[in-house]
Amino acid sequence: MVECKVRPILTGVAVTVDEVRALAGSLPRSYEAHVGGSLKFRVGQIVYPALAADGSRMGCGFLRELRPGVVDAEPGKFAWPAESDLRFNWIHVSLAAIDADEMRDLVEEAWSRAVPKYVAEEYGATRGYH
């Protein structure tokens, strides 16, 4: 799996929907879907990031056990999903509060849990993540 590295903002430059779209669209087995005004990326039927219609936030797969600490530590950056979605391994992220490196970490980590392990390992090896 791709290692998740949540780190503070380094550049202060907000991430755009187009940057998320470019990265997610480039990942193996990933495809774009539009559902109820939201842009979502899937591997099979698994949604791993979803972008709000207004482009302000991204929901993405995230390790369940790390969510409380991350949301408590950086509430301006991370937020809980709706109560009805708490059963999923999901977190919301303000795109204005992250930089491109952090977005890449979040999207790649979410994607790596949606694809077969060998696909994530192969991708990580080609990127020097091992």
Read off the CATH number of the domain in which 89 is found. Answer: 3.90.1150.30
Is residue 56 a contact partner of residue 95, using CB atoms and an 8 Å limit?
yes
Q: Is the pLDDT of residue 4 over 50?
A: no
Is 10 part of any domain?
no
Is 6 part of any domain?
no
Whole-structure pTM value: 0.86
Is 130 part of any domain?
no
Is 9 part of any domain?
no
Question: Hey, what are 124's tokens?
Answer: 């990580």
CA count, 13 A, side-chain hemisphere, 70: 21
Is 126 part of any domain?
no
Per the structure, the complete domain to which residue 66 belongs is given by 17-121
Question: Whole-number mean pLDDT of the chain?
Answer: 89
How does pLDDT run across 104-122, given as a tens digit for each residue?
A: 999 999 999 999 999 999 9
Is residue 50 a contact partner of residue 38, using CB atoms and an 8 Å limit?
yes
Is 58 part of any domain?
yes
Is 8 part of any domain?
no
Structural domain tally of the chain? 1
How does pLDDT run across 15-56, given as a tens digit for each residue?
A: 999 999 999 999 999 999 998 888 999 999 999 999 999 999
Is 91 part of any domain?
yes
